[in-house]
Structure 1
Amino acid sequence: MTRTERLGYGALIGVAAAGAALGVAEPVAALVGRGSSPVVAVGLAVIDAVPRPVKDFGIRTFGQHDKEALLAGVFVLLALFAVGVGVAALSRRWIGVGGVVVFGALGAVAALSRPAASVVSAVPSVLGTVAAVGVIVFLLRAVPRPAASAGVPAAAAGAARPAPRHRSRPRARLQDQPQDRASARDTPPVRRPGLDRRGFLAVTTSVVAASAALGGVGRFLTSLRDVGAERRGITLPAPADPAPALPAGADLKLPDLTPFLTPPRDFYRVDTALVVPQVSIDEYRLRIHGRVRHPLTLTYQDLLERDLIERVITLSCVSNEVGGDLAGTARWLGVRLKDLLDEAGPADDADQLLSTSVDGWTCGTPTAVVRDGRDAMLAVGMNGEPLPLQRGYPVRMLVPGLYGYVSATKWLVDLELTRFSDVAPYWVKRGWKREAPIKTFSRIDTPRPLANATAGRLAVAGVAWAQHRGVEKVEVRVDGGAWNAADLAAVPSVDTWRQWRWEWDADPGRHTLEVRATDRTGATQPEAREKPFPDGATGWHSVVVTVS
């Protein structure tokens, strides 16, 4: 067998075995639930294990598509691993079987490591491993091999060497007698081991097709858990305390300027969930417990029956770079969080509100901030509709003025009053600061970076935010010159971003525009650029434009 043939047969064997493993595991995972899919579990384990700089790189490079990129990377690595295992198995069967078992063990361990896991979470990986071992052993026996010569064992056929030629004819020996030569001619040829090439390809294709069909069954079973139809059937009650109408002029409606209210489909998403959790309102329970006098357990309907507040609030991600777009504004409907905590009665030393998502992600919020009078809430609605699935349906938490990693838990199922000294939440364990008020930020939306413009009057516009402090002033300068005050749009509260505009008499040439904002405490955005780690980026945003 040539090297090319070995690589081809090995690749087919490995990919077919990997396909069988996933084809069997995914339907079982759909039935078991609990994050038991091997691919998803391994992907989540990678998210938990990779160093912070790698996570930051993923967000910077892929933005809101970082999860798709990670899953694609997992599949690519799996395919390469499968090819390597298949090729190695042609020489040593135990290497192929061992490689499959190792991969299955990794999937099982990853599934068992998830917060909501139980023993059955390992079942999909185990059954997938059994299927893959069966496929790899079967296909190894079916691999086409060179046929053995008549009367020569198959194992030695490829190793036979021609006898050396002699000048003198050897004398006849007993085994060279005519009757023996006739007997050799009558010996039936040795049967060629394995299948021929066409048969092997047919069998391998059948295995891959069957695996794909099983994967389709898995996707169908997973779709049965989809709560999208349930969400569309919900009618939210009117708020007892509605948000006032947006003031006139809150949205300047300029081309390329970010709209004041962000459509749900455009709202940024940064979280650790590779697959959007499907939480049914029929099964939903929220626990409020820990260092409290009166623990509470609430259903979704319990929350809807309370007095709901409606507020327009801007959220921002701590991963947002200078000039980045990881921020958005929406009209939120929910239960005031302070009221729930007052009912539970936190202990005096319970300085942390630990919130937990259904997928086990944790977030720590200062209890004092939640109860200081700001509109912290457990949101059930966004822009007049139930929360979109990707935004945390059915219930999420938000606290104005704090970055999301310490305030904005999606798919919320647990609130525990505890102490910062006792529990470190997910991102704090990874070096981010435990208290993270949103920093003053400003951004130029128009003109775009490296834009070409026509000389004359040109609108420079963008957004600025300093949630729960409010933006007092925005200034723009050209080529390091004097600062110019921009006109500010109206805002409904200090908890939202603010659009701004400045009219520039643009001269021909290449120019650099810079912007800075000052909040209502009098603090001006610093010039020096700092990366998001460990508590948010700072620095003036700038764009370069060419005027002709």
Structure 2
Amino acid sequence: MQSNRSMPSWAAALIGLVSGTVAVGFSLLVAGLVNPSAFPVVAVGNSAVDLTPAPLKEWAIRTFGENDKVVLIGGILVVMALLAALLGVAAARDVRYGLAGLAAFGLLGVAAVLTRPGAGVTDLLPTVLGVGAGMLALHRLLRRARVSADDLHHTLRESPPEPRPEPSPALRTVPEATAPLSATEGPLPTGDRPGTPAPQATGASAPPVAGASVPPVMRAGNDLRAFDRRGLLTGVLGGVAVAGAAGAAGRLFSGRAEVTAARSDIALPKPAKPLAPLPAGADLRIKGLSPFVTPNTDFYRVDTALVVPQVDPRDWTLTIHGLVDRPVELTFADLMKRAVTEADVTLCCVSNEIGGPYIGNARWLGVSLAGVLRDAGVQSGADMLLSTSADGWTAGTPADVVMDGRDALLAFAMNGEALPVDHGFPVRQVVPGLYGYVSATKWVTEIKVTRFDRDEGYWTPRGWSARGPIKTQSRIDLPEPGTSVPAGRTTVAGVAWAQHKGVDAVEVRIDEGPWRQARLAEAPTADTWRQWVLDDWDATPGSHTIEVRATDATGYTQTADRAPITPDGATGRHTVRVEVT
């Protein structure tokens, strides 16, 4: 075991941290060349998502919202940093401890990568090579931070300490009365006896003179190696530079730049039947009220992708197989040659709590999913479409819903521009009337026509309903909960939705008083949400509770009974409390 008692703990921890950073940076580089989803940090994060109990996932979404993935990856990196620092401290005692710890990290990463759908042998390279780079960095940093005894002696020979000036003859003897006792029993050497002249110094052969300038490490004679602060600093800077360059190159090689450029180069085709402009009354244009069309930058995002897949449309294909007469494979160019459909559709996440933000409305451009399936020839008995994302996520969509004539799309554009990468570029599914977890597959690459009794999507075995129709709901946007409003005429407004059924009425009541009919905005289709407003409430000073309910075109009025989002969406009425001053 190599002793390194002279190395401070902070230095050893820094060495471990930098070595871990090199491992992560190098693995990101290799993942960019091989497969971005094989980046071990992402693989471990995906495994953590898969293994997390549903209640904990719901808590994460409620607490962190769309930032839940950032929090998860950040937490993983913090834990890795702490463990890497501890490995550095252990390696300072014996480098084998640090190497063994890095190897354990590697095994965890390999196990996580192998659990991902479609993982191959090459997907192990980012983890294996990254851990190898970390081991090399750890070994070299430890060496740079130590100076061997031989190196120190060589330094002393090159620059020996200057001898002390020759004492005067009067000081060469020590009176017997003041002579110190020897530290050991027995006679003193001749030159140290009281009254005996001291020997003359004879250059290099003389012993070191007391008080001469000797580096501290020479006094710590038990240390085989000593701490070299300058060596540590240069090594750390070099390690950080290598890690940063590797990480930057990895992000470059992951295809982000190419995909961004390809997206900007897409010329969107014209729809076969362009939609009419939105009715003038579709958006009430009230400040603070959700606009009828949700801007792409504000559209909610809830998915399991810790790193957004970067899919080049030139490489994209969609395979349709399973219970079909003719398996189909489409390229992006094939898709763009088909008849194009334009549709206004509101999407909603099953994780949306009562009054929650995970809903948005957009104008989508794509091709009919039912038309593609008819070309493949769906066989009798098939009742489920198992769609798969580029990152392996799956959704089970009821086949009868897609084939019933609604605007179910393979969409490639959103609000007049190519799909944002975060929202599924180059192609995603859009199915009106179904929660996203059973329909809205982003980065879709495969559709297996199958049966619910044979296959299931990602969320079904985790406790969620297999079919997921969207429930009739409403939300109060104005006034915001917990705010203070001035007394007098006050506007109450919000949105209501019942996709593919349509909203027929919205009612509002104050302090559990009588229900009052709200004014509805125009709705171009039953597949979108609908704005509503009550603008004649005379608010009096004090605390007030505002409640809303919607009735859809089937005559169903949303219930007051509260139910959680699991297993098929929340129920209840949105209520806000405001102070009137």
Matching residue of 1:170: 185
- In the alignment, does 2:365 pair up with 1:336? no
Matching residue of 1:163: none
Matching residue of 2:175: none
Matching residue of 1:158: none
Range with bigger deviation, 340-349 or 107-116: 107-116
TM-superposed CA distance for 1:89, in Å, is 2.2
TM-superposed CA distance for 1:16, in Å, is 1.2
TM-superposed CA distance for 1:218, in Å, is 2.1
Matching residue of 2:548: 515
TM-superposed CA distance for 1:468, in Å, is 0.9
TM-superposed CA distance for 1:384, in Å, is 1.8
TM-superposed CA distance for 1:420, in Å, is 1.0
TM-superposed CA distance for 1:471, in Å, is 0.9
Range with bigger deviation, 400-409 or 14-23: 14-23
* Structure 1 residues 315 and 3: alpha-carbon distance in aligned structure 2, compared to 1, 3 A threshold: farther
Range with bigger deviation, 482-491 or 341-350: 341-350
Matching residue of 1:36: 38
Once the two structures are superposed, what CA deviation does each residue of 1:40-83 show, in whole Å capped at 9, x if it has no partner? 22222222222212221221122112222222112111111111
Q: Which amino acid aligns with 1:130?
A: G
Once the two structures are superposed, what CA deviation does each residue of 1:81-104 show, in whole Å capped at 9, x if it has no partner? 111211222234322111111112
SS in 1 for 2:127: helix
TM-superposed CA distance for 1:143, in Å, is 4.0
Once the two structures are superposed, what CA deviation does each residue of 1:350-397 show, in whole Å capped at 9, x if it has no partner? 111110111111000111111112111111221122211111111111
- Could you tell me the percent identity over the aligned residues? 49
Matching residue of 1:544: 577
Matching residue of 2:303: 271
Q: Which amino acid aligns with 2:30?
A: V
Matching residue of 1:281: 313
Q: Which amino acid aligns with 1:54?
A: L
> Paired residue for 1:237, among 269, 276, 283?
269
Counterpart-to-counterpart distance in 2, 1:145 and 1:236: 65
Matching residue of 1:139: 141
Q: Which amino acid aligns with 2:547?
A: E
- In the alignment, does 2:225 pair up with 1:193? yes
SS in 2 for 1:249: helix
Once the two structures are superposed, what CA deviation does each residue of 1:510-534 show, in whole Å capped at 9, x if it has no partner? 1111111111111111112222111
Range with bigger deviation, 32-41 or 441-450: 32-41
Q: Which amino acid aligns with 1:306?
A: R
Return the TM-score normalized by structure 2.
Answer: 0.86
TM-superposed CA distance for 1:271, in Å, is 0.8
SS in 1 for 2:258: coil
Once the two structures are superposed, what CA deviation does each residue of 1:258-299 show, in whole Å capped at 9, x if it has no partner? 000011111111111122212122111111110111111111
Counterpart-to-counterpart distance in 1, 2:538 and 2:314: 60
The answer to whether the Cα contact below 8 Å between 2:318 and 2:329 also exists between their aligned partners in 1 is yes
TM-superposed CA distance for 1:195, in Å, is 4.3
SS in 2 for 1:331: strand
Matching residue of 2:23: 21
TM-superposed CA distance for 1:113, in Å, is 2.4
SS in 1 for 2:225: coil
Matching residue of 1:160: none
Counterpart-to-counterpart distance in 1, 2:493 and 2:6: 60
Range with bigger deviation, 36-45 or 467-476: 36-45
Alignment of 1:404-443 (within 5 A): 404-443=436-475
Alignment of 1:118-517 (within 5 A): 118-144=120-146, 170-172=185-187, 185=207, 193-223=225-255, 226-503=258-535, 504-517=537-550
The answer to whether the Cα contact below 8 Å between 2:4 and 2:92 also exists between their aligned partners in 1 is no
Counterpart-to-counterpart distance in 2, 1:378 and 1:196: 62
- In the alignment, does 2:77 pair up with 1:75? yes
The answer to whether the Cα contact below 8 Å between 2:352 and 2:569 also exists between their aligned partners in 1 is yes
SS in 1 for 2:254: helix
TM-superposed CA distance for 1:169, in Å, is 6.5
Range with bigger deviation, 253-262 or 268-277: 268-277
Counterpart-to-counterpart distance in 1, 2:102 and 2:32: 22
SS in 2 for 1:226: helix
Q: Which amino acid aligns with 2:67?
A: H
TM-superposed CA distance for 1:24, in Å, is 1.7
Once the two structures are superposed, what CA deviation does each residue of 1:469-489 show, in whole Å capped at 9, x if it has no partner? 111111111111111111111
- In the alignment, does 2:100 pair up with 1:115? no
Q: Which amino acid aligns with 1:427?
A: W
The answer to whether the Cα contact below 8 Å between 1:453 and 1:547 also exists between their aligned partners in 2 is yes
Range with bigger deviation, 106-115 or 322-331: 106-115
TM-superposed CA distance for 1:495, in Å, is 0.7
Once the two structures are superposed, what CA deviation does each residue of 1:100-130 show, in whole Å capped at 9, x if it has no partner? 1111222222223222321111111111111
The answer to whether the Cα contact below 8 Å between 1:225 and 1:278 also exists between their aligned partners in 2 is no
Counterpart-to-counterpart distance in 1, 2:277 and 2:35: 43
The answer to whether the Cα contact below 8 Å between 2:148 and 2:226 also exists between their aligned partners in 1 is no
Counterpart-to-counterpart distance in 2, 1:438 and 1:9: 57
Matching residue of 1:93: 95
Q: Structure 1: 5+ residue runs without aligned partners? A: 152-165
Range with bigger deviation, 406-415 or 31-40: 31-40
Q: Which amino acid aligns with 2:558?
A: Q
The answer to whether the Cα contact below 8 Å between 2:4 and 2:225 also exists between their aligned partners in 1 is no
* Structure 1 residues 457 and 186: alpha-carbon distance in aligned structure 2, compared to 1, 3 A threshold: closer
Counterpart-to-counterpart distance in 2, 1:290 and 1:476: 49
Q: Which amino acid aligns with 1:460?
A: V
* Structure 1 residues 342 and 221: alpha-carbon distance in aligned structure 2, compared to 1, 3 A threshold: closer
Q: Structure 2: 5+ residue runs without aligned partners? A: 154-180, 194-198
Residues matched between the structures, number? 533
SS in 2 for 1:35: helix
* Structure 1 residues 168 and 52: alpha-carbon distance in aligned structure 2, compared to 1, 3 A threshold: closer
TM-superposed CA distance for 1:496, in Å, is 0.6
